[in-house]
């Protein structure tokens, strides 16, 4: 009679252990969320492999069966070539053993060695090796991300009469987008307080290469801003540096830089091939800040013909400035549809509140739109609201 309660306790303990294990494996995600994440990852992986397949040659085949067969073979080869030579050989051996599953039988007719099982073991070993590489790379990327986070402000500067917020969603662990807002070390001529410098930039490319160039851009901007150089001179210095390290224009940078006079609220800005920021006036009128020039680093100009000009605008209480990278408007959902500027403008026209509120609602709108779809670019935005 005493065994029944003990049996119930063991059953409940086993169920609890299974639930705990499932919670660790899924990280609290529901089945629908897991399926959505899997579809997104599968679509992204297919895109990675399919770009190495000669689809034109496959499309010329008249037989549907041959097209399917050649497509599968092409995708297999694309996947195979992503491995190291030794792992390619092991994968081929494992698949041959599993498909053919040869056996060595004793004189009695019993199977002594089942090579199919050996093939499965080889596949498991390959999976373990690939996971080890992934974990090592992820750890290195996490360290790179921490370093990158040191280069951008964790909190916006708190200044009388201005409200600033910013956010970013990297396409990968590290990003090529840059945002900043900081006071220059000393006042310019005629000003009673230091001016506020705002910067949002997007380095061409993705992941680690773009992140490294973003770091050099940040260092260059901070160094130039610490001098008495005007905004136009800062942009000129950034352009010369970017052109010298852009790999003949392959690693150019789009940027929007602005300097705000905290005494008069007059803002000087230069748009270097960046998405035109949106200036929503207190009246609801929309202005786009496009004055500037081409992206930084394009090798088509000499030092004597840098085509950058600055624009000026007067900010008033209630005005809101929204600066963003192209990852915002080019964010795609699972059907491949882009978020586009029309949605962004519509959301900005209906949003009020603090800079953080505006930014949160826009980013939430973008996140809800894209769902689990993998993004092709980093998503970054900065909001400045004039409060007085």
Give the pLDDT score at 351. 77
Give the mean pLDDT of 12-19. 80
266 vs 22, which has greater pLDDT? 266
Give the pLDDT score at 103. 66
| pLDDT (tens digit per residue) in 278-291 | 999 999 899 999 99
Asked if the model's pLDDT at residue 266 lies above 90, the reply is yes
Most confident of 11-15, 151-155, 230-234, 296-300: 230-234
Give the pLDDT score at 110. 59
At residue 185, φ and ψ (nearest 5 deg) are: -60, -30
> Would you say 176 and 213 are in contact if contact means Cβ atoms under 8 Å apart?
yes
Give the pLDDT score at 302. 60
Asked if the model's pLDDT at residue 247 lies above 70, the reply is no
Asked if the model's pLDDT at residue 249 lies above 70, the reply is no
In the numeric block, which tokens belong to residue 262? 């905290």
The domain ranges of the chain are: 23-104+112-145, 153-386
Rg (CA), the chain: 28
172 vs 298, which has greater pLDDT? 298
Give the pLDDT score at 234. 92
342-346, Cβ contacts within 8 angstroms, sequence gap of 24 or more:
343/369, 344/278, 345/278, 345/286
E strand or H helix that includes residue 111: strand 111-114
> Would you say 178 and 206 are in contact if contact means Cβ atoms under 8 Å apart?
no
How far is Cα 185 from Cα 181, in angstroms, rounded to an integer? 13
Give the mean pLDDT of 16-26. 83
Asked if the model's pLDDT at residue 250 lies above 70, the reply is no
Give the mean pLDDT of 294-301. 80
How far is Cα 174 from Cα 215, in angstroms, rounded to an integer? 11
323 secondary structure, DSSP code: E
In the numeric block, which tokens belong to residue 207? 């992941």
Asked if the model's pLDDT at residue 19 lies above 80, the reply is yes
**Region label for 58, one of left (φ > 0), alpha (ψ between -120 and 50) or beta (otherwise):** alpha
Lowest mean pLDDT among 27-36, 49-58, 348-357: 27-36
Other beta carbons less than 10 A from residue 179's beta carbon: 23
Instruction: Using the structure block, give the residue that is written with the tokens 């059907």.
Output: 335
Asked if the model's pLDDT at residue 53 lies above 70, the reply is yes
- pLDDT above 70 coverage of the chain, percent: 89
| pLDDT (tens digit per residue) in 152-203 | 888 888 999 999 999 888 877 667 788 999 999 877 666 667 899 999 999 8
Q: In CATH, what is the architecture of 153-386?
A: 4-Layer Sandwich (3.60)
| pLDDT (tens digit per residue) in 28-49 | 778 877 787 787 778 778 887 8
In the numeric block, which tokens belong to residue 7? 């049996």
Q: How confident is the model at residue 231 (pLDDT cuts 50, 70, 90)?
A: very high
| pLDDT (tens digit per residue) in 196-219 | 999 999 988 766 777 778 888 888
338 vs 38, which has greater pLDDT? 338
Asked if the model's pLDDT at residue 295 lies above 70, the reply is yes
Asked if the model's pLDDT at residue 232 lies above 70, the reply is yes
């Amino acid at each position: 009679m005493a065994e029944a309660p003990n049996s119930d306790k063991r059953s409940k303990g086993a169920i609890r252990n299974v639930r705990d294990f499932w919670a660790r494996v899924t990280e609290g995600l529901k089945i629908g969320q897991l399926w959505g994440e899997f579809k997104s990852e599968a679509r992204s992986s297919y895109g990675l492999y399919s770009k190495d397949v000669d689809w034109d040659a496959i499309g010329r085949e008249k037989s549907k069966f041959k097209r399917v067969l050649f497509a599968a073979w092409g995708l297999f080869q694309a996947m195979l070539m992503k491995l190291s030579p030794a792992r390619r050989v092991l994968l081929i051996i494992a698949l041959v053993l599993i498909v053919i599953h040869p056996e060595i039988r004793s004189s009695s007719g019993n199977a002594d060695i089942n090579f199919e099982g050996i093939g499965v073991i080889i596949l498991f070993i390959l999976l373990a090796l690939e996971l080890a590489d992934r974990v090592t790379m992820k750890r290195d990327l996490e360290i790179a991300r921490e370093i990158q986070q040191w280069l951008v402000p964790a909190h916006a500067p708190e200044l009388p009469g201005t409200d600033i917020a910013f956010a970013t969603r990297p396409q990968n662990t590290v990003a090529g987008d840059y945002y900043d807002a900081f006071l220059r070390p000393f006042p310019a001529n005629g000003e009673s307080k230091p001016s506020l410098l705002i910067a949002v930039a997007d380095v061409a490319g993705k992941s680690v290469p773009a992140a490294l160039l973003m770091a050099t851009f940040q260092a260059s901007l901070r160094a130039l801003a610490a001098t008495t150089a005007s905004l136009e001179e800062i942009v000129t210095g950034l352009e010369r540096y970017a052109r010298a390290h852009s790999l003949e224009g392959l690693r150019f940078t789009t940027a929007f830089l602005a300097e705000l006079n905290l005494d008069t609220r007059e803002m000087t800005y230069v748009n270097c091939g960046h998405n035109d920021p949106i200036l929503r006036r207190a009246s609801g009128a929309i202005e786009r800040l496009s004055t500037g020039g081409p992206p930084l680093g394009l090798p088509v100009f000499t030092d004597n013909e840098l085509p950058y000009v600055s624009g000026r605008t007067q900010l008033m209480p209630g005005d809101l400035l929204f600066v963003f990278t192209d990852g915002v408007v080019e964010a795609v959902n699972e059907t491949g549809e882009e978020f586009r500027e029309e949605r962004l403008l519509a959301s900005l026209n209906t949003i009020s509140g603090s800079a953080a509120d505006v930014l949160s609602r826009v980013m939430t709108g973008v996140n809800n739109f894209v769902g689990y779809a993998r993004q092709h670019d980093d998503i970054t935005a900065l909001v400045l609201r004039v409060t007085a």
